[in-house]
Amino acid sequence: MKPFASRYLLLAAFSVLLSACQSKPVEQPAPVAAPDVYQQLEQNIASSELATAEDQLAALQSKSPDDPRLEQYQRQLAEAYLSRSQIVLQKGDMNAAATALSRARALMPKAPALTSGVNGAIAHARKAELEKAEADLRAAEAKRKAKVIDPSAESTTIELKLGDMKQLRRQLSDIAEDVAAFNCDVTVQVPRTDDYPWLATLLTKRVAKINPDFELQMQREIERSEPAKIVLKPAQL
């Protein structure tokens, strides 16, 4: 009887424990608090996620336009854009600097003095870049080999060999190359009016073959006491 009584008591105790477990409510995890939008905004400004921060600021301004905290964040964002503009300008990226500066200006329309320094630096850098490009172009022009002209001279006069067509064609081919390469204005000096049309046609065809888009500037002069000549005047940089 004792073993039976022990088993009965054990079974009864297990039933009571099971009932208690089934009736005990399941604990739910505590809800996670939503992140603070202002804290997110400040973090994005601090981590240079400026485009995201600007979108967040615009959303907050639309939702709560009278919130006094927004003016402070707007200024912080503008200063972050201004700092970015200065940094990328030092790296030589003027387009990125100008873009960041424009965003700073948009956020600080009532404080133009804060952006004037960077604006002046960008303008100075652009001027220096343009001057360097022009200097490089002049150097390239100087190194380029001319056929018949002196690129550094204001003009070059070439006397034409009208009596030797083979040599004349060679002259006109060289002249055409220099005209197209150095953007020359052309003056054709001939002793007879009838000499101009066919010389002009021969030269025009050669220039068009070299550069079909070149706009040839050509004029005629009649010098009856002088041999036929072509005067080339290269464009001045």
Predicted confidence (pLDDT) at residue 10 exceeds the cutoff of 50: no
Residue-level pLDDT at 82: 85
Residue-level pLDDT at 74: 87
Output the six-digit token pair for 195.
């000499």
Mean pLDDT of 69-93: 87
- Model pLDDT, residue 107: 85
Integer Cα distance of 176 and 2 in angstroms: 127
209-219: pLDDT as tens digits: 999 999 998 99
- Residue 13: exposure state from Cβ atoms within 10 A (0-12, 13-18, ≥19): exposed
Q: Looking at residue 194, what is its pLDDT?
A: 92
User: What would the DSSP string read from start to end of the chain?
Assistant: -HHHHHHHHHHHHHHHHHHHHHHSPPPPPPPPPPPPHHHHHHHHHHTT-HHHHHHHHHHHHHH-TT-THHHHHHHHHHHHHHHHHHHHHHTT-HHHHHHHHHHHHHH-TT-THHHHHHHHHHHHHHHHHHHHHHHHHHHHHHHSPPSS--TTSS-EEEE--TT-HHHHHHHHHHHHHHHHHHT-EEEEEESSTTHHHHHHHHHHHHHHHH-TT---EEEEEE-TTS--EEEEEPPP-
Whether residue 25 has pLDDT greater than 60: no
* pTM score: 0.44
List the structure tokens of 69: 């905290």
pLDDT level of residue 105 (50, 70, 90 thresholds): confident
| Over residues 36-53, mean pLDDT | 89
Q: Which residue has the higher pLDDT, 17 or 78?
A: 78
Burial, 185: exposed, middle or buried (Cβ in 10 Å; 0-12, 13-18, 19+)? middle
56 close to 83: Cβ distance less than 8 angstroms: no
Give the pLDDT mean for 78-86: 87
Give, in words, the CATH class of 156-233.
Answer: alpha beta
What pLDDT sits at residue 112? 65
Q: How far apart are CA 181 and CA 147, in angstroms?
A: 10
pLDDT at residue 205 greater than cutoff 90: yes
**What are 53-77's pLDDT values in tens digits?**
889 889 988 888 888 888 888 888 8
- pLDDT classification of 117: cutoffs 50, 70, 90: low
Q: Answer with the residue of higher pLDDT: 53 or 13.
A: 53
**Average pLDDT, whole number, for the chain?**
80
In the chain, where are the structural domains located?
37-140, 156-233
Average pLDDT for residues 68-92, to the nearest whole number?
A: 87
Which is more confident, 37 or 156?
Answer: 156
- State the maximum Cα–Cα separation within the chain, in Å, rounded to a whole number: 154
Compute the distance between CA of residue 157 and CA of residue 229 in angstroms, rounded to an integer. 7
Q: Edge-to-edge strand order for the sheet containing 229-233?
A: 156-159, 229-233, 185-190, 217-222
